[in-house]
């Protein structure tokens, strides 16, 4: 473990904690819609920064960067919130959106992006 790896581990843990606290600890849709893009960018952007800092081969960077950007965009557009209770219904990491009822309030699904 070098210094960069340790620092990155801490940074990513903080972003990850903020990510889950926001999506699953809050029921405030307006707050989530305002903060989620920044947290997503911080989370995935710090990952790209880490790869750059540990100097992975440029050929790998050329492949990884667009993939991370696409996954980030996909996660952003697929994350939805319950209209009734404000709970997060789905995002790419949890794939919670499988039932026809909100897992939090049990009302039938009627989401807002
Ligand atoms: Zn709900």
Interval between CA 40 and ligand 1 midpoint (Å): 22
- What is the per-residue pLDDT for 30? 94
Mean pLDDT for the chain? 87
**Cα of 27 vs its chain's centroid, Å:** 16
| Residue 16 · residue 43 · CB < 8 Å | yes
Interval between CA 67 and ligand 1 midpoint (Å): 32
Phi, psi (rounded to 5 degrees) for 47:
-65, -45
Under the banding of pLDDT at 50, 70 and 90, the label for residue 91 is low
- What is the per-residue pLDDT for 18? 93
Strand order through the sheet with 88-90: 88-90, 80-82, 111-112
Q: How many separate domains does the chain show?
A: 1
Interval between CA 63 and ligand 1 midpoint (Å): 38
- What is the per-residue pLDDT for 85? 92
Q: What pLDDT, in 10s, does the model give residues 58-72?
A: 999 999 999 999 999
Interval between CA 38 and ligand 1 midpoint (Å): 24
Q: How far apart are CA 90 and CA 82, in angstroms?
A: 9
Helix, strand, coil content of the chain in percent (nearest 5): 60, 10, 30
Interval between CA 80 and ligand 1 midpoint (Å): 11
Domain encompassing residue 8: 3-112
């Amino acid at each position: 473990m070098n210094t960069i790896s340790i620092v990155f581990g801490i940074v990513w843990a903080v972003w990850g904690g903020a990510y889950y606290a926001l999506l699953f600890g809050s029921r405030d849709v307006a707050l989530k819609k305002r903060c989620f893009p920044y947290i997503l960018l911080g989370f995935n952007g710090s990952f790209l920064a880490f790869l750059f800092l540990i100097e992975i081969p440029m050929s790998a960077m050329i492949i990884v960067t667009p993939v991370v950007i696409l996954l980030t965009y996909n996660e952003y557009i697929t994350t939805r919130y319950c209209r009734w209770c404000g709970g997060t219904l789905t995002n790419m990491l949890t794939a919670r959106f499988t039932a026809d009822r909100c897992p939090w309030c049990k009302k039938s699904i009627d989401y807002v992006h």
